[in-house]
Amino acid sequence: MSYPVIALASSSPRRRELLTQLGVSFSLVKADIDESVQHAEAPAHYVQRLAEQKARAGLSRLAQPMPVLGADTIVVLDNQILGKPADFAEFSRTMQLLSGRCHQVMTAVALLDQRRSLSVLVSTEVCFRPLSTEDISRYWQSGEPQDKAGGYGIQGLGGRFVQRINGSYSSVVGLPLCETEQLLQNWQEQA
């Protein structure tokens, strides 16, 4: 099945690589949005709202009409969203929370145009081994954690902390391949 040519509303190189694996033709579009959590907003609602807002922001910038794909990934522990660490102290606290425990990584994907919208939410359980203060310090010094939700990248050096996952590996990286492909197929079938 061939997919529609789409716009990807993301600056993530990982999402670009994953979308390329599906054989989708896409262009990039900027989608700057306010990523603040609203008062008492549940993590699942938050990540779905951001994916849709990114897609809508991308749609508003297009010169020609086409579907826009927006996605967002968050790390959740005890129903709390663990964001991108602002500094080493915040990163260290986050890693201490994740150490020896399981958490959820939620990725929402929204595909929309002026007429319709489809979306999916994928939640994956990720379990970390216990981390030493040296593990945490050395990982921070690598430079990898600074722009990552929850302070780690499973596809990079942070993968060595992961004992097991239950769910979609590609979703933890930033775009669930199986579910995104299904979304694109559903889009084509409804055209």
Residues carrying an active site annotation: 72
* Token reading at 7: 């716009």
First-last CA distance in the chain: 13
- Host H or E run for residue 108: strand 102-112
Report whether 144 contacts 157 (CB < 8 A): yes
Buried-state track 72-100, b at ≥16 Cβ within 10 A, e below 16: bbbbbbeeebbbbbeeeeebbebbebbbe
The upper half-sphere exposure of residue 87, i.e. CA atoms within 13 Å in the direction of its Cβ, equals 1
Instruction: Using CA atoms of 179, 180, 184, 186 in order, give the dihedral in degrees to the nearest 10.
Output: 20
